[in-house]
Each structure stands twice: as structure tokens, then as C-alpha cells.
Amino acid sequence: MPAHTGHAEIAGGGIGGLTAAAALARRGWSVRLHEREESLRAFGSGIYLWSNGLAVLAQLGVLEQTVDGAHHGGFIQTRDHRDRVLSRIPINRPGGVEVLTVLRERLINALLGAARTAGVRIVTGSAAVRADPSGVLELADGTRHHADLVVAADGAGSRLRDGLGLLRGRRALGQRCARFLIPRTPGLVPEQDAEDYIEFLSGNRFLLYTPSSATDLYIALVCPEDDAAAIGDPVPQQPWISAFPQAEPLLRELGAAPRWDEFECLDLRSWSAGRVAILGDAAHAQPPYLGQGGGCAMLAAAGLAHSVTHGAGTLENRLRQWETRERPLIARTQRFSYRVGRLNDLADRPRAALLRVLGRSRRFADARLRAARAIPAGTDQIR
């Protein structure tokens, strides 16, 4: 089947937009990427990279660069309000799912490097305001760029998506999250747990402990949006220490909270309209409880590049083929992540009992890791 190529205009310089730009350019497309900020930068936190995201990075030729200095944990732990281990899932075993953590900045820089190496033209300070199904991207200054393919990767609040009337619904969890990067020093958690990834649960509050390199520790705090005692800048330490006394040394190290994000799931009528494709959080935002937001964005972006290049029929047909292939697994991951997030609403005792059962369930573990095992489309056809 002959390959299709052309010109693509992409709005958004995050994980999804950069992955799509690099993947398209490596397949022979000319690509221009617009980022509304004056520079491409990553919000200061760590990020989980599972087998699916790692496969995309290998496809783009930047795997080694990204994972240099990454942290490979041995287990994912879940602990209850009494600091009892409810589950301890082994990871990074031969033949199993691989997961590692890196600084988000390292991932963004690697994807940026892949895009530039492939010949992508990157324009910063360039805000996209409208996408036309005929294949036109309009910028805030009134400039209109014509393209064979327009990609809207402009985040969960996507202006381009909403202008096309594609949003069918959104479900909020009623939770807020603050993320921190702090120096990784001895004594913040017991030595025997220091290399693991740990989820702490207490009441309706959640604490995530994530080593992201030899020197960096990523911490996330989650609580209900109406938990006024726990939300603030700087973080009110005492309410969190009361919930997680075992983590007091860790919590004492937290400084200002850059922001308190909300969690939600998005549902679109379609991932495309004419020659416009919707990608990443703009298409399938999800709570981060499976650590699959970035992985799903990268998987969908790689699949997009493959489908529009090697699919059959018109571009519109190829976009429908892309959605048919990628959407079922990603939508399932969204739903699963939403349901895991709902566990924060349960009281401690019934939640602990449920999580003990789930922790012993092979079926639950397999379901949790299904998206992480997905292989990006066209791995054997990349140029």
C-alpha cells in the first residue's frame, strides 16, 4: 500500500503534540508545531513511563536519552490508614510489564529533540484559536495555515475541540491534586521502602511517593475539592501529617504548591472532524491513578501517524481507522482510572478490605496493566 504524506499543522507542544509531530515527520510529513507559551517547558513533576510509552520512545529513537538516570522501582505498594500493606505488585521482572519514572522535563526534552531531528518546525508564542474541518488552523494573530492534517493537542480545555462541537461530556471526580519535586534524601521513608512506588490512603486523602531519579522525589497529594483544611499554598502541613503520620519527614519537606489541579474524564463524539484530529488530554483526559495519561497520549499519537500515512482511502477515512483502532483501549483505560479514583470516596475499613481482595486478584492486575502492554501501531514501518 503506498504511503500518504503531506503537510501537518499541530497545536500544542505537550507530550501528545510533540510525539505526533516527531512520528509524522519521521514518516515523511512536513510538520509545523505551534505552542502558545514562549518556550516549551514541563510542569515540575515526575512521570511514569510504562511499556507502551517506552515502545513509542524506542520508535522515535530517543528511548536511551529519556531513561538515562531514570528510576526503576521493584514494587508498587498500596498502604492503608494504619500504614498496613494492602498490595505489593512486583514490576520490572523478566517477561513482565516494565515501568520506570523520570522527570517530566526529561521526557519533554527528549520528544522535542526527536521532533527537531526529524525536521519539525516549532513556533513558540503561537496560540491557535480555531481549527476548520477543511484543514485550516487559525492563530490568535489572524494568520490561517492550510494543511492536509490539523492536530489539536491543546489540552483538556481545548479551544479547538470545543469550537468543533466534539465534546460530548465530562465527568469530574471532585478531587484536587498538588504535585511537588523535592530532593531525595535518606530518612524520608523507611530504608526498605525507599526504592518502591507507594500509594498511601487515609480517609479521603491520598499521598503518592515516587522516586524519579537518584536525586529527585516526586510527591502528589490528592484530596476532595471541598477539603478546605488540606488545600492551600503553602500546603497546610498539619492536616496531612495527621492523615499520614508515618510520612511526616516527607511532608515537612514540601514547600509551595504550584497549583491544585482537578481530575476529570472527557468523552468526545468523535476524535476527528474532517481533516482535524483531536489528541491527548484534549481527546481522552483521565485521572492519573493508573499513570497512563502520558502513555495513552503517546500511543494515540504514534497510531495517528501510522494510520494517516499507511491507512486506506481519504484522510477522513484514515482518521476514522485510527480512532477505531486506538479508542477502545484508551476509553477503557479512562473508565478504569476513574473507578480507581472513586475508591478515595470510601471509608477506610471497607476500602482496605476491598483493596486486599483486589491486590490478590490476577484479573484485576491484568486489567490495570492492559494499556501499559499495548504496542504502538506501525512499529515495523517507521522510517
Given a cut of 70, whether residue 114 has pLDDT beyond it is yes
Q: What is the mean pLDDT of residues 206-226?
A: 96
Question: Residue 237 and residue 305: Cα distance in Å, rounded?
Answer: 46
- What percent of the chain has pLDDT above 70? 97
Which pLDDT band holds residue 369 (cuts at 50, 70, 90)? confident
Kindly state which CATH superfamily the domain 7-71+103-171+265-344+374-381 is placed in: FAD/NAD(P)-binding domain (3.50.50.60)
Q: Please, what is the average pLDDT of the chain?
A: 93
Q: What is the mean pLDDT of residues 310-338?
A: 95
As given in the structure block, the three cell numbers for residue 213 are 531519579
pLDDT digits over 170-205, tens only? 999 999 999 999 999 999 999 999 999 999 999 999
Record the pTM. 0.95
pLDDT value, residue 358: 86
Question: Residue 300 and residue 14: Cα distance in Å, rounded?
Answer: 13
Which pLDDT band holds residue 97 (cuts at 50, 70, 90)? confident
Distances 83 to 194, 224, 242 between C-alpha atoms, Å: 15, 21, 13
Beta-carbon neighbour count of residue 141 at 10 Å?
A: 9
Given a cut of 50, whether residue 307 has pLDDT beyond it is yes
pLDDT digits over 250-260, tens only? 999 998 766 89
**Domain spans of the chain, in order of start:** 7-71+103-171+265-344+374-381
As given in the structure block, the three cell numbers for residue 311 are 491507512
Given a cut of 50, whether residue 383 has pLDDT beyond it is no
pLDDT value, residue 257: 67
Distances 348 to 236, 311, 327 between C-alpha atoms, Å: 22, 50, 34
What is the pairing mode between strands 128-132 and 46-50?
A: unpaired
Encode the chain in three state secondary structure: CCCCCCEEEEECCCHHHHHHHHHHHHCCCEEEEEECCCCCCCCCCEEEEEHHHHHHHHHHCCHHHHHCCCECCCEEEEECCCCCEEEEEECCCCCCCCEEEEEHHHHHHHHHHHHHHHCCEEEECCCEEEEECCCEEEECCCCEEECCEEEECCCCCCHHHHHCCCEEEEEEEEEEEEEEEEECCCCCCCHHHCCCEEEEEECCEEEEEEECCCCEEEEEEEEECCCCCCCCCCCCHHHHHHHCHHHHHHHCCCCCCCCCEEEEEEEECCCEECCEEECCHHHHCCCHHHCCHHHHHHHHHHHHHHHHHHCCCCHHHHHHHHHHHHHHHHHHHHHHHHHHHHHHHCCHHHHHHHHHHHHCCHHHHHHHCCHHHCCCCCHHHCC
Question: Residue 91 and residue 108: Cα distance in Å, rounded?
Answer: 24
